[in-house]
Amino acid sequence: MSEQTKRAICVGEAIVELARGADGRFALASSGDTFNTAIYLARAGTPVAFATALGDDPFSDAIVALAKAEGIDTDLMLRAPGRLPALALADADKNAERRTHYWRDGAPANSLFELPQWSRIAEAMTAARLIYFSGITLSLYSNVGLGRFLAAVELARNSGAKIAFDGNFRPHGWHGDLSRTRTVFAEALKRVDIALPAYDDEAVLWGDPSPEATIERLQAFGVTEIAVKNGPNGALVANGAQRDIVPVPEAIVPVDPAAAGDGFNAGYLAARLAGRNAFEAAAAAHKLAGQVIRHRGAIMPRAGAAVH
């Protein structure tokens, strides 16, 4: 199998989302940070699978149907009978800022690497071209699950897969335990080739005073390719010894900032897999992120999905 025909595997959760619209009503959708990225990667023409666990309920069926409709391979979406996927309720606070509440306890995605079929995921990872996961992915798993997942990541990397990671730090997912979060992230970063962090998250978790400090810290872990997302200030990109700021092409007032980072990551990885250099990839990533934030919800209509 050639590198071009190998697929990317995104690992994480796909959740049921209820989001309040401008009319005050809630609409049902599916989302999840790595799931959103998988969708945008598939739209860019990248062969991609999504690895997660779902229940055997109609909501889980709808998530699988959405993945299939988007061209995502679903063979790594395991099913756990009698369990329900996580639920997110998205609303706005008194300042009109997006606010999301989660119900994750008992969700099957949390047990992906403890289900009887978990070795199927690990085996598939060793044949992948790219493995992509996030800090939210890491927050889902127990210590047993983390050990199995990181071992599978290492095996995949040793087999030739590139490993991409977005810290995507959400304190509630770690129950405020910053010490455990840093320990788990540090173990993950030892196995990462491409880091796609958001500077705001890195500043909170690690106390980085600048995007440059984030680059230095990640390079100390051995990460060779880094794109630090910094909102309207663009992205600071480092690839080996080369480092540069890739500016946002135009200032956009977002309709909904949800999934901007997920879209950026997809645009970046799709461009890299297509043979473009890191700085060109960051420019493509800005373009896709700019399209995503012009629409409500994490997944924009397909008609606006072009990334080239």
* Measured distance CA(206)–CA(224) in Å, rounded: 19
Q: Is the dihedral of CA 191, 195, 198, 199 positive or negative?
A: positive
Provide the Cα torsion 297, 298, 302, 306; round to 10°: 130
Cβ contact 202:193 at 8 Å: no
The catalytic position among 33, 166, 201, 262 is 262
Catalytic site includes residue 262: yes
Do 34 and 132 meet the contact criterion of CB atoms below 8 Å apart?
Answer: yes
Cβ(192)–Cβ(163) under 8 Å? yes
Which DSSP helix (H) or strand (E) runs through 34? Answer: helix 33-43
Give the N- to C-terminal CA distance of the chain in Å, as an integer.
Answer: 26
Mark 213-240 as b/e (b = at least 16 C-beta within 10 Å). Answer: bbbebbbeeebebbbbbbeeebbbbbbe
Q: Are strands 235-239 and 48-54 parallel, antiparallel or unpaired?
A: unpaired
Q: How far apart are CA 279 and CA 290, in angstroms?
A: 17
DSSP state of 278: H
Q: What are the E-state strand segments in the chain?
A: 8-11, 15-20, 26-31, 48-54, 77-79, 87-92, 98-103, 130-134, 162-166, 194-195, 225-229, 235-239, 242-246
140-150 residues labelled b (16+ CB within 10 A) or e (exposed): bbeeebbebbb
> Could you list the active site residues?
262
